[in-house]
């Protein structure tokens, strides 16, 4: 499937289910449109799970004719809600909408590609993070894990406000190749937001010693006895490793880092040692991050419960908008967001 030519101003696909999160999602999308003049495409997909109902579901044994009527009724209801939504949008925002039936995740991805979208934006109920239920975070997680373009997830409890003064971005970087695109997008977004924006570029060196507990002391004693390592030598090794990671962190942004600084962005690099999820969460809280940016890894293809090597809880428990960016090789087209 060939993508359309990307909009010169950018296009964001807004995936909505017309649920309790919709009003916050629309408000967040409007800040995006007004700040970057992107076009908004609202899309709602009616799932077709009733076409092949399985045992122990409400649709099992129901006449196909009745199921078809139910689907058409829901489609009509969604179309009415979509028409009402578009009619209420401000006149200065360019937007369109569509409603169709099918698999929500794949349908949204296909629609984004066909229309040359730069970004998919959706909402999830923050109170149900981690429950993996259909009414919880599952659709957003599936998009984060599969969509070949950046996915921005917000909620009523964690809205996204592109117009906020002093906007703060936390880019989580594991220094792996698949995260390079996320680093680039984080810096590009900061540069577009301009002067007063704060970008914190964070790397957490995972520390497994706490998880090992007392076993770590036994391992360390055995290794030191075998290698003849002294306390001072161990400290020097850790210091050298920390210095090397900070150096790599400084090199990662390249030209994008220079562009962000030239635009007046305040850039800070942070390197921590500890439990990855806890360290990211603590940094997000301390910084007061308005957006967390993560790279996506297809690690062991464990979808959608693991997105990258970072524990899922590190992305969710902070309760903030998330931008998940696939690796460059997984993008359907090298379209920057926001557009340059």
User: Which DSSP string corresponds to 262-315?
Assistant: HTT-EEEEEEEEE-HHHHHHHHHHHHT-SEEEEE---GGG-TTT--SSS-HHHH
Give the global pTM: 0.82
CA neighbours within 13 Å on the CB side: how many for 302? 10
Q: Is there a single domain that holds both residue 184 and residue 66?
A: yes
Cβ-based burial of 149 (10 A; exposed 0-12, middle 13-18, buried ≥19): buried
Same domain for 51 and 116? yes
pLDDT at 131: 44
Domain stop point among 226, 244, 262: 244
- Rounded Cα distance between 76 and 97, Å, is 14
pLDDT, tens only, 127-136: 655 444 444 4
Residue 6 lies in a domain: no
Comparing CA positions, the residue from 303, 2, 27, 18 lying closest to residue 160 is 27
Q: Could you tell me how many helices (H) and strands (E) the chain has, helices first?
A: 11, 10
The answer to whether the Cα torsion of 217, 223, 228, 231 is positive or negative is: negative
The number of folded domains in the chain is 2
- Domain extent, residue 233, equals 211-244
Q: Does residue 29 share a domain with residue 62? A: yes
110 and 225, same domain (yes or no) = no
What gap in Å lies between CA 115 and CA 5, rounded to an integer? 8
Joined tokens for residue 310: 């970072």
230 and 123 in a single domain? The answer is no
Nearest Cα to Cα of residue 204 among 251, 239, 169, 171:
171
Q: Are residues 145 and 223 in the same domain?
A: no
Q: Indicate whether 175 and 125 sit together in one domain.
A: yes
H or E element in which residue 71 lies: helix 64-88
Q: Cα-flanking dihedrals φ and ψ of residue 293, to 5°?
A: -115, 125
Sheet strands side by side (includes 322-325): 95-101, 39-46, 11-15, 119-123, 151-154, 322-325, 291-295, 168-172, 198-206, 266-274
Q: What pLDDT, on the 0 to 100 scale, is given for residue 239?
A: 73
Domain identity same for 195 and 215: no
- Give residue 137's pLDDT: 57
> Which residue shows structure tokens 């967040």?
28
pLDDT at res. 64: 64
Inside any domain, residue 140: yes
Per residue in 183-226, pLDDT (tens digit) is: 999 999 999 999 999 999 999 876 655 454 554 455 556 656 65
What are the residue ranges in the chain where pLDDT is below 50?
A: 1-7, 50-56, 130-136, 210, 212, 215-216, 300-309, 340
Strand 322-325 to strand 151-154: parallel, antiparallel, or no bridges (unpaired)? antiparallel
Please check whether residue 119 is in contact with residue 323, taking contact to mean a CB–CB distance below 8 angstroms: no
What pLDDT does 54 receive?
47
* Partners of 154 in the β-ladder: 123
């Amino acid at each position: 499937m060939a993508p359309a030519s990307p909009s010169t101003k950018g296009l964001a696909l807004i995936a909505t289910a017309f649920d309790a999160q919709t009003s916050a999602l629309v408000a967040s999308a409007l800040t995006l449109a007004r700040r970057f003049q992107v076009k908004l495409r609202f899309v709602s997909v009616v799932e077709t799970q009733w076409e092949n109902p399985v045992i122990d579901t409400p649709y099992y044994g129901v006449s196909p004719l009745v199921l078809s009527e139910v689907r058409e009724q829901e489609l009509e209801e969604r179309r009415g809600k979509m028409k009402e939504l578009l009619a209420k949008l401000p006149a200065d925002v360019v937007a369109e909408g569509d409603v169709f039936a099918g698999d929500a995740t794949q349908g949204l991805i296909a629609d984004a590609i066909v229309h040359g979208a730069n970004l998919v934006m959706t909402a999830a109920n923050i109170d149900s993070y981690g429950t993996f239920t259909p009414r919880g975070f599952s659709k957003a997680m599936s998009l984060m894990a599969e969509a070949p373009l950046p996915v921005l997830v917000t909620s009523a409890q964690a809205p996204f406000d592109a117009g906020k003064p002093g906007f703060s971005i936390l880019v989580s970087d594991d220094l792996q190749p698949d995260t390079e695109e996320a680093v680039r997008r984080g810096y590009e977004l900061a540069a577009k937001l301009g002067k007063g924006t704060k970008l914190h570029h964070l790397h957490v060196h995972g520390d497994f010693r706490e998880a090992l507990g007392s076993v770590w002391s036994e391992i360390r004693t055995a290794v030191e006895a075998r290698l003849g390592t002294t306390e001072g030598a161990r400290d020097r090794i850790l210091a050298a490793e920390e210095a090397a990671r900070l150096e790599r962190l400084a090199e990662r942004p390249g030209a994008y880092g220079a562009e962000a600084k030239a635009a007046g962005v305040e850039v800070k690099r942070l390197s921590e040692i500890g439990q990855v999820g806890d360290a990211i969460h603590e940094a997000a809280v301390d910084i007061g991050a308005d957006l967390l940016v993560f790279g996506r890894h297809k690690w062991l293809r464990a979808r959608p419960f693991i997105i990258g090597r970072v524990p899922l809880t590190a992305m969710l428990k902070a309760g903030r908008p998330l931008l998940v960016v696939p690796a460059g090789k997984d993008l359907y087209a090298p379209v920057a967001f926001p557009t340059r």
